[in-house]
Amino acid sequence: MQFTKEVQWSLFDFALAALLLSFTALLIMFILHSLQKTKFKFLTLLFVMFAFLLLWAELAVGVFNSPISGK
């Protein structure tokens, strides 16, 4: 919004991004502190990061054209 008029984020978009980042960070901290096996911990963290990136991309540009995708 600062550099181009094509980006039209609302307060809801910023709140959702903050919520998604916070939830992902808390989930990562929980995984790091609760799981004991290194291999399982790594695979779980990889899954969480992959899910975060897929959800972020879907919300931003609508990669899968779901009802939650961006405009």
> According to the model, what pLDDT value does residue 20 have?
97
Helix, strand, coil shares, percent, the chain, to 5: 70, 0, 30
- Measured CA angle at 34 (ends 31, 38), to 5 deg: 70
Q: Which amino acid is at 70?
A: G
Instruction: State pLDDT tens for residues 7-55.
Output: 788 899 899 999 999 999 999 999 999 999 999 999 999 999 999 999 9
